[in-house]
Amino acid sequence: MSDIPENWKTLNVARDLRIRGSYPQDLRIKRIHNSANIYAQYLPSKEDDPREFQGRCQNGKGKRLVIQESMNTSDILEAAKRSVKWVQSKQKELRLIQDEQLGITSNTLEKYWNIYFQKTSKTRQTKRNYKRWEREEILKWSAAEYGISNQPFSHKSVDLISRSDFEDYFSLLERRSKKSNGSSGSGMKGQQKTLINKLLAIAENDFIGHRFPSFPPINKDKKQVQHFTIDQWKLLLRTVFELGNGKEGKVRTQKQYQSLGYNPNNRQCERNWVDLYHALQLEWFFYLRAEDMCRLKSEWFTRKDSGSWICFLETTKKDRELHQTTHYRRDADSYLKRIIGSKPTGYMIFPHMNRPVDNEGESGVLLNLNFLLKIAIEKCLPDFPKSQRKWTTIRHTAFRLTLEDMPELGVQPDINSFADNGHTSPQQLRATYLRYMDAEQTASRARKKIQPTPNVRFGGKIKSLDEVEDVN
């Protein structure tokens, strides 16, 4: 508030005062001559304005007039907060008038949300991570600030929704994301857009031939993913080993594993550190998704006569069918024999933690892994970005360092099989790792070939380039 000039006349509520909530982007507060109170005003979009001549003066020939009302306070911040509630109430009032004029009251997004949620719930209840899906979909729909149900356009008949509605919504999502994590909110925009489009697809049955508006383009945040260098990776492994009092090196049987120090009230006990070490190795060799760590079982691993191991993941991301993956590093055999020897059946990571039936993702295993991982990174790599001290960074490291060790895996035909083995796509490998590796290698080659900058000495006042003395 300190940056607002004393002689202000008009302030934009979103841009100048950054008041949270869902409301039109042109909502503003204004000082009126000879009035101690601050006024709020906004101009409805043409399609949302049920006033005669869409609010135009001079019988529809003049300019469109704003809607204005006193906020009954002289305090700037209070007036801004009241203006948000006022405009939301005013929008609701205008929608009721509009619906009455058009004889339409029922075909809102809520109708199609109920159809979608009930139908989809029935088909997903028997699948893995149903509770997680349910929770996430309900948040998309009903979250207090950004939920679809709390947006002005959700109360319209769907055939009256305009592109400007979606533009306002994306602006809200972007403001929220920039405030929380500094991003453009591309991920959230994509999620909300997908759900809205699903609802509109159902609505097409009631509005055959109607063309629903498109969304504004989503510019995805392009940030290079973080990974550990090989030296950092070795240091991390050594640190985890030491935090477990070196016990991992002595664990080869189930009995030895069960004898490790364990306290359910202390996440930093010996057994948990050993499990973290095992999890790091499994990720390193098999490029597993974070969600797989909580459900990984010893029975999923098969050793061939050659000494190679195959992991048969029962289900993977988005409930895809059985997926087979194997290791690319030759030293996997010794590690796998030790890990499976200590936990020959059942869950491999924190087997002592309870898992909800058919919903291992709710077990807290990943929370434990990330908790211990952050402690280990803080101890050995305190300068490593705090936002990247998470399990996905381990997966990124496994991919990146494998590609550095064997660059041919990044080109045809090997890239296809490598991507499939790691539960990803060639496109994702290129976008996430290879483009940055290529840039670094290109710069490195250039530095070796491009001639050094001439070292020159200037004596006195320079009159021409001929007077510059090259001392190389």
Structural domain total, the chain: 3
Show the tokens assigned to 33: 């001559």
Q: What is the pLDDT of residue 240?
A: 96
Domain span at residue 75 reads 10-102
The residue from 56, 87, 102 where one domain ends is 102
Q: Show pLDDT as tens, one digit a residue, over the chain (472 residues).
A: 567 888 899 999 998 898 988 888 899 999 998 889 999 999 998 888 888 888 998 888 899 999 999 999 999 999 999 999 999 889 888 877 776 666 555 788 999 999 999 999 988 887 767 788 898 999 999 998 889 999 989 888 898 899 999 999 999 998 888 877 667 788 899 999 999 999 999 999 888 888 999 999 988 766 778 999 999 999 999 999 999 999 999 999 999 999 999 998 899 999 999 999 999 999 999 999 888 888 899 999 999 988 899 998 866 555 555 678 999 999 999 999 999 999 999 999 999 988 877 667 667 899 999 999 999 999 999 999 998 999 999 999 999 999 999 999 999 999 999 999 998 999 989 988 988 888 888 888 888 899 887 776 656 665 565 665 555 5
Closest CA to 407 of 437, 370, 373: 437
Residues 346 and 299 in one domain: yes
Is residue 219 one of the residues assigned to a domain? no
* C-alpha neighbours within 13 Å on the C-beta side of residue 182: 3
Is residue 461 one of the residues assigned to a domain? no
pLDDT digits (tens, 9 = 90+) for 105-140: 578 899 999 999 999 998 888 776 778 889 899 999
How far apart, in whole angstroms, are the C-alpha atoms of residue 117 and residue 169? 22
Residues 138 and 82 in one domain: no
Q: What is the pLDDT of residue 202?
A: 95
Does residue 348 contact residue 361 with C-beta atoms inside 8 Å?
no
Residues 95 and 125 in one domain: no
Residues 150 and 73 in one domain: no
Which residue is listed with tokens 């291992």? 360
How far apart, in whole angstroms, are the C-alpha atoms of residue 459 and residue 277? 63
Is residue 364 one of the residues assigned to a domain? yes
The residue from 79, 102, 125 where one domain ends is 102
Residues 251 and 393 in one domain: yes
Is residue 159 one of the residues assigned to a domain? yes
Does residue 148 contact residue 197 with C-beta atoms inside 8 Å?
no
Task: Specify the CATH number for the domain of residue 260.
Answer: 1.10.443
pLDDT digits (tens, 9 = 90+) for 275-313: 999 999 999 999 998 888 888 999 999 999 888 999 988
Residues 247 and 355 in one domain: yes
Q: What is the pLDDT of residue 456?
A: 64
Is residue 215 one of the residues assigned to a domain? no
Residues 280 and 415 in one domain: yes
Is residue 47 one of the residues assigned to a domain? yes
Is residue 458 one of the residues assigned to a domain? no
pLDDT digits (tens, 9 = 90+) for 18-36: 898 888 889 999 999 888 9
